[in-house]
Amino acid sequence: MKTAHLSTLMVAGFAALNVIMYLGVQRFWIGGSSFLPLIGKMGPGNKFLLAFIVNLGVIVGAFIGASTSGEFHLRTPCVSQLPRAILGGILIGMGITLAPGTCTTAFVTGMPMLSVSSCLSAAGIFIGAFIVFQIMTHKRA
């Protein structure tokens, strides 16, 4: 379990890096739309392609972080986990494309930008997640 101070410091580092990237290359971190190149949509000025490359770097960075802290373990999924993962992935895919900027981007970039669309998206995320949480909780009970 990560300590509260370490988590806070690292997340502060993430936020600071987002600002530095904005100042340096005039692009901020985006999540959902970065996967549109997987269906051939590169975005204006290859914007989504660059975001996709950034997010490939995120995987490498997470691997470095996990390896250096002894948290890397190769885990293969069991078959029973797959339907939920696939359904969840499809819903995420639809959500991030229906209104771009709707995803983690709303929390880490959009809301600090005071983007109205991101505030609405965050409200939607909360509602959708709460409905699924209630369904899952009732199923278990």
Partner 1 sequence: MALTGFLFGIGFGYFVQRGGLCFAHGLGELFIGKGRRIIRLFLVIFIITGIGFVLSSFLNPALGLKPVGEIRGYGFYNVLSGMLFGAGILLNGGCILGTLRQIGEGHLLFVVVLAAFIPGMAIVVFGLDPWLASGYHVQKIVLPQLLNAPATAVTGLLALGAFFWLWKVWPRRR
Residues 88-127 that bind partner 1 (CB under 8 A): 88-127
Q: What tokens were used for 112?
A: 């600090």
105, 29 in Cβ contact below 8 A?
Answer: yes
Closest distance of CB 141 from partner 1, Å = 13
Ranges within 6-65 binding partner 1 (CB under 8 A):
6-19, 21-32, 35-36, 38-39, 41, 50-51, 53-65
Is residue 110 exposed (0-12), middle (13-18) or buried (19+ Cβ within 10 Å)? buried
Q: How many whole angstroms separate alpha carbon 131 and alpha carbon 5?
A: 32
Q: Which of 70, 73, 140, 141 binds partner 1 (CB under 8 A)?
A: 73
> Nearer to partner 1 by C-beta: 23 or 141?
23
